[in-house]
Amino acid sequence: MGMIVREEARYRSPAELLTQMGEWLEGAGHLEVARMYYESALKIDKTFALALFRLGKLAYRTGKYDEATRILKQATALTPDHAPTYYQLALSYEKSGRLRSAAHWARQTLRYNPEHDGAFLVLLRCYAGLRWWRSVLRICTTLPQRMHQAGEVKLWQALAYTGLGQLSKASEIWEQVPNRIRRRYEEESRRIEQLLSSVEDI
């Protein structure tokens, strides 16, 4: 078995081996050491896109969103059809509050992976954050069938309908949103409930 592993290792580049070790260390929770391995891989081969992707994803994971976007944009130039890189870039822009950019990269993700649930959710969150209510509802009509009853989707639908003043429709959908989703998005949930209760009090 050891012979097979050593034989396979001969066909891997040093950058690939360092990146693989970095992934293992990251999985074990040694994030700073993993970062050093990814950076070492890039010193050997600055065009090794996987190391850039992992380094950017690690920056996102540790809350360094501006650094993540910078690194991940470099990765997209090397692998322009890699949907996971686009998605991670969308998440990084979203976390840094740049919602239009996040929406752009979410759309790029869907261009290469039209069934990417996470990218659809980024779009819904960004459009809701921008108060593009009709865009929220339009996206809901293009979702894969499996997402139609998702609690988070229902929340953004309800918020969009309240934003458009269609409170009866919003109330109907709001009743379908699970409590765990309401707790996760407390601010948005509070806004929906305040608008709906104001109508009930009239």
Q: Are 37 and 18 in contact (CB under 8 A)?
A: yes
Tell me the domain boundaries of the chain. 149-202
Q: How far apart are the C-alpha atoms of 156 and 24, rounded to whole Å?
A: 37
Neighbours of 145 (CB within 10 A): 6
Q: Which of 66-75, 111-120, 192-201 has the lowest mean pLDDT?
A: 192-201
- In this predicted model, what pLDDT tens digit does every residue of 160-177 receive, in sequence order? 999 999 999 999 999 999
Does residue 5 surpass a pLDDT of 70? no
Q: How far is CA 127 from CA 38, 60, 77, in A?
A: 34, 22, 26
Say which DSSP state 177 is in: S
Residues 6+ apart with CB under 8 A from 26: 34, 54, 58
- In this predicted model, what pLDDT tens digit does every residue of 83-140 receive, in sequence order? 999 999 999 999 999 999 999 999 999 999 999 999 999 999 999 999 999 999 999 9
Q: Are 89 and 74 in contact (CB under 8 A)?
A: no
Residues 6+ apart with CB under 8 A from 54: 19, 22, 23, 26, 34, 38
| Tokens, residue 136 | 């929220």
Neighbours of 127 (CB within 10 A): 22
Across 135-162, average pLDDT = 97
